[in-house]
Amino acid sequence: MADNINDNYNEFINDLTNKIYKLILKQYGDKYPLNLNLDEEEMLVGELARLHTILNALEEREDYEQCIIVRDKIKKLEEKLNEY
pLDDT tens-digit series, residues 4-49: 777 887 888 888 888 888 887 787 776 655 666 778 888 889 899 9
Mean local confidence (pLDDT), 55-78: 94
> Hey, CA dihedral for 53, 54, 59, 61, is it positive or negative?
positive
Angle (CA) 73 75 77, round 5°: 70
Mean local confidence (pLDDT), 64-79: 94
Which pLDDT band holds residue 74 (cuts at 50, 70, 90)? very high
Residue 37: per-residue pLDDT: 75
Instruction: Report which residue type is found at 41.
Output: E
Is residue 58 within 8 Å of residue 67, measured between CB atoms? yes
